[in-house]
Amino acid sequence: MTRFARLLLLLSLASNLEAKDADIIIKNARIIDGAGNPWYRGEIAIRDKRIAEIGNLSPGTTAPIVIDAAERYVTPGFIDVHTHCEGDFAKNPEAESFVRMGVTTVVTGNCGSSYADLAKAFTSHTQLGIGINMASLVGQGTVRREVMGNRNRDPVTTEIEAMKEIVAQAMRDGAVGMSTGLIYTPGTYTKTYELVALAGEVAKYGGLYATHMRSEGGEIEKAINEALEIGRTNHMPVEISHFKITSPKRFGLSTMTLQMVEEARKAGQDVTVDQYVYTASSTGINTMLPDWAVEGTTTDVQNRVKDPQQRAKIVESIIKSRRDEGGRPSLAYAFVSNFKADKSINGMNIVEIAKKWRNSDTWEAQAETVADIVTSGGASMVFHSMDEGDVRNIAAYPWTMFASDSGIREMGQGVPHPRGYGNNARVLARYVRDTGLLRLEDAIRKMSSLPAQRFRFFDRGVLRPGAAADLVVFDLAKVQDDSTFEKPHAFSRGFDYVMVNGDLVIDDGKLTGKRPGQILHGPGWTGANTASSTAVDHGAKGVVPSKANERTGTKSGRKRVSTTRGTGDGGRGSGGDRVGADRRDGRQPRRSPDAAKGPYPTWDAPEENRYLRPF
């Protein structure tokens, strides 16, 4: 062997010694980093649950699992900041409806409803093993109900202090902030000063205020101003949930409501919004009743609706609020998604049910039908109450995050809103690929780095060395939300690989059954509930961990060696599809400049982002 050949051999051996093995390599990828930058070609190495290298890998880097992206996009895992997953992981720990549309992290506890004991819930989820990461807000409605029940009255001083202590404890247990559901009981009974007091406890721990506002239609300006006031008073971030316009008389108003948000930001207030990209909402049928009718327990509400005199007032109120004030020609926009007492009406609207039950479609018959459903146990509803122009306008706003407002779907159960199966896929298929409303990189930003920054998940949402290995590999041409209002039970397509903390939960289009999800704690977490601080390495559902088996030659171009490793209150049920003390360590709230108060002008938005029509 010549001296030159020996030198080459020594250099090659040295290079191999310096190269560190990875757990997974993704090659031939179009990488979108999540920060809004343009995609670029490169490779990604995953090691010890994190991104080890990205771009051009070190020479000689190897891995037992190599995924050929074959020009598909690789992005950060999607973060859904508005979900209602309480109780869902126990039944569906792999969270298939979420991972099938690229979601790797959820924030639950929205719309004022959360686990009452977050420390206990976090520990339980960790011991069970969950397929995706989870964080939680503390629900103001849950807190108030624990102290005061479902009652329509102001709290006394001792009750305020008790609620403040519960909120403070929730922040120490790891909540990322506090949510309100101000169209639900008991949130609807809560005055602004009470919300300011509780939000003040959240601010001490660096959390945010997330709100389902009191109005998303006729009085939306007042509702936005209230949300801004609560944040401004406490010098804390504000997240306005499922931003939308729900009154036909006010369609097109999103131009003005977005301007309110923008003007607040210009004045120094930290406020953002989230949205699901559909023209229908979903919640319980009790939201159609007047506030006074939904106080107390389920039995209280049903007895009130059964009483002839009170029922007459309720029927009158439904007609007034929906027809006279809301501008609805009928209740045909309101569809039953899940009525346990009579599943034959699931998927029917109130007009159709009124004809079936009462042989009439008058407004009185429709309102009486609503009352009949309430007295028979209530129902989950889908309300086709929005306009596509407003949806597009809000989606195009730079500080809008995309969120499903859903729990984990159970295949075949009821006729739910399709957003729980398809929200993220719909963003990519409809608003990026098909209509061009959004640039791909910006849509990814709204589903990754923006929510990560908003909720302080600083090691997620962006593809960079050292970040948690939550990734999605998808073919934009094949991404599709197959779930529809008529046939909602269908998973999204096109997401070929989904990785959570370095483990594949979707592998070449197949659910692996792995549960690598972790609890993501808020900034006030003291670490007391240590059992929830680290995820347990759970094996695939029904599979005993085994020795590595070699698998080669899949149709996707992979070659790999792999190892297979689980209340009695009535009122309006809060949230989507579902019916303290000072900080002990003396830490002070984060401060930001005071924001100026309104009034707010109409937004003179760029022409391409405007949706203007008479209203």
How far is the first Cα of the chain from the last one, in angstroms, to the nearest whole number? 86
CB 191, CB 155: distance < 8 Å: no
For 52, the token pair is: 């080890």
For residues 471-485, b (16+ Cβ closer than 10 Å) or e, as one string? bbbbeeeebbbbbeb
For 398, the token pair is: 């730079």
What CATH number has the domain bearing residue 51? 2.30.40.10
Instruction: Quickly state the pLDDT bin for 520 (edges 50, 70, 90).
Output: very high
If asked whether residues 350 and 378 sit together in one domain, one would say yes
| Cα–Cα distance for residue pair 437/392, rounded to 1 Å | 8
Residue 176 resides in a domain? yes
| Displacement of CA 505 from its chain's centroid (Å) | 19
Residue 569 resides in a domain? no
Residue 497 resides in a domain? yes
For 71, the token pair is: 């020009």
- Asked whether residue 455 carries a pLDDT value surpassing 70, the answer given is yes
CB 171, CB 209: distance < 8 Å: no
If asked whether residues 345 and 394 sit together in one domain, one would say no
Average pLDDT over residues 219-229: 98
The H or E element containing residue 489 is none
| Cα–Cα distance for residue pair 199/178, rounded to 1 Å | 7
Q: Residue 548 has what pLDDT? A: 31
If asked whether residues 362 and 319 sit together in one domain, one would say yes
Instruction: Quickly state the pLDDT bin for 600 (edges 50, 70, 90).
Output: very low
If asked whether residues 200 and 339 sit together in one domain, one would say no
DSSP 444: H
| Cα–Cα distance for residue pair 454/452, rounded to 1 Å | 5
Q: Residue 326 has what pLDDT? A: 87
pLDDT digits 0-9 by tens, 246-305: 999 999 999 999 999 999 999 999 999 999 999 999 999 999 999 999 999 999 999 999
| Cα–Cα distance for residue pair 478/494, rounded to 1 Å | 5
* Peptide linkage before 599 cis (omega within 30 of 0): yes
pLDDT averaged over every residue in the chain? 87
Total count of domains within the chain: 3
If asked whether residues 345 and 491 sit together in one domain, one would say no
Closest by Cα among 145, 415, 399, 164 to 295: 145
Residue 509 resides in a domain? yes
Q: Residue 2 has what pLDDT? A: 61
The H or E element containing residue 402 is strand 400-402
CB 98, CB 80: distance < 8 Å: yes
For 516, the token pair is: 């690598």
Instruction: Quickly state the pLDDT bin for 1 (edges 50, 70, 90).
Output: low
φ and ψ of 29, to 5 deg: -105, 150
Residue 85 resides in a domain? yes
DSSP codes joined into one string, 462-514: S--TTSB--EEEE-TTT-B----SSS-----B-EEEEEETTEEEEETTEE---
If asked whether residues 221 and 349 sit together in one domain, one would say no
Instruction: Quickly state the pLDDT bin for 614 (edges 50, 70, 90).
Output: very low
| Cα–Cα distance for residue pair 605/394, rounded to 1 Å | 12
For 609, the token pair is: 């982002």
Last residue of a domain, one of 350, 383, 416: 383
Q: Phi-psi category of 513—alpha, beta or left, where left has phi over 0 and alpha has psi -120 to 50?
A: left
Residue 592 resides in a domain? no
If asked whether residues 84 and 158 sit together in one domain, one would say yes
DSSP 151: -
Q: Residue 527 has what pLDDT? A: 86
If asked whether residues 50 and 86 sit together in one domain, one would say no
Residue 215 resides in a domain? yes
Closest by Cα among 4, 50, 36, 31 to 499: 50
If asked whether residues 404 and 373 sit together in one domain, one would say no
| Cα–Cα distance for residue pair 140/383, rounded to 1 Å | 25
If asked whether residues 97 and 240 sit together in one domain, one would say yes
Kindly give the pairing relationship between strand 73-76 and strand 133-136: unpaired
Kindly give the pairing relationship between strand 495-500 and strand 471-474: antiparallel
3-class state of residue 487 by DSSP: coil
CB 399, CB 266: distance < 8 Å: no
Average pLDDT over residues 48-75: 96
- Asked whether residue 514 carries a pLDDT value surpassing 60, the answer given is yes
Give the pTM.
Answer: 0.84
Residue 285 resides in a domain? no
Which residue blocks in 418-524 are alpha helix, DSSP H?
A: 419-426, 440-447, 449-454
Last residue of a domain, one of 328, 348, 383: 383
Instruction: Quickly state the pLDDT bin for 550 (edges 50, 70, 90).
Output: very low
Side by side, the strands of the sheet bearing 78-80 are: 78-80, 103-108, 133-136
pLDDT digits 0-9 by tens, 566-593: 333 455 555 554 333 333 233 333 333 3
CB 180, CB 195: distance < 8 Å: yes
Q: Residue 134 burial by CB count (10 A; 0-12/13-18/19+): exposed, middle or buried?
A: buried
pLDDT digits 0-9 by tens, 160-189: 999 999 999 999 999 999 999 999 999 999
If asked whether residues 94 and 27 sit together in one domain, one would say no
| Cα–Cα distance for residue pair 469/518, rounded to 1 Å | 12
- Asked whether residue 104 carries a pLDDT value surpassing 50, the answer given is yes
Instruction: Quickly state the pLDDT bin for 410 (edges 50, 70, 90).
Output: very high
CB 241, CB 209: distance < 8 Å: no
If asked whether residues 189 and 227 sit together in one domain, one would say yes
Question: Residue 323: which domain range?
Answer: 292-383
3-class state of residue 210 by DSSP: strand
Last residue of a domain, one of 514, 531, 562: 562
- Asked whether residue 245 carries a pLDDT value surpassing 80, the answer given is yes
Q: Residue 559 has what pLDDT? A: 36
